Amino acid sequence: MLTRWRLVLSGRVQGIGLRFRAKMGAQQYKLTGWVRNLDDGDVELEVQGEDAAVDAYVNYLRTLPGANVTFLHAEEQDVIEETRFRIR
């Protein structure tokens, strides 16, 4: 089943190449969506794909070398039509 989630990652998540690695991981898991840095030091994403792929991707984000995700907020979103994952 296709699902879409808005994620906000807190902790040591900026200045470590997380956005680039988030995009590479999304391509690996065949997900669409976007990622961006927030002014408060958090990273925000919207990610869309099959349930199992999204779950695996979230685990991938939590275990990125150099990152220290201390909090992850997740909120389900409506599925939309899109064809790629991009860095904003």
Query: Quick one: pLDDT band at residue 52, thresholds 50, 70, 90?
Result: very high
- Whole-number pLDDT of residue 28: 97
pLDDT at residue 4 in the model: 98
Average pLDDT, the chain: 95
Q: What is the model's pLDDT at position 37?
A: 97
- Taking the C-alpha atoms of residue 11 and residue 58, their distance in angstroms, rounded to an integer, is 15
Provide the annotated active-site residues.
Answer: 19, 37
The Cα 23–Cα 51 span in angstroms is 18
Q: How confident is the model at residue 39 (pLDDT cuts 50, 70, 90)?
A: very high
Cα distance between residue 73 and residue 14, in whole Å: 16
**Nearest-angstrom CA–CA distance, 82 and 73:** 23
- Residue 21's pLDDT is 95
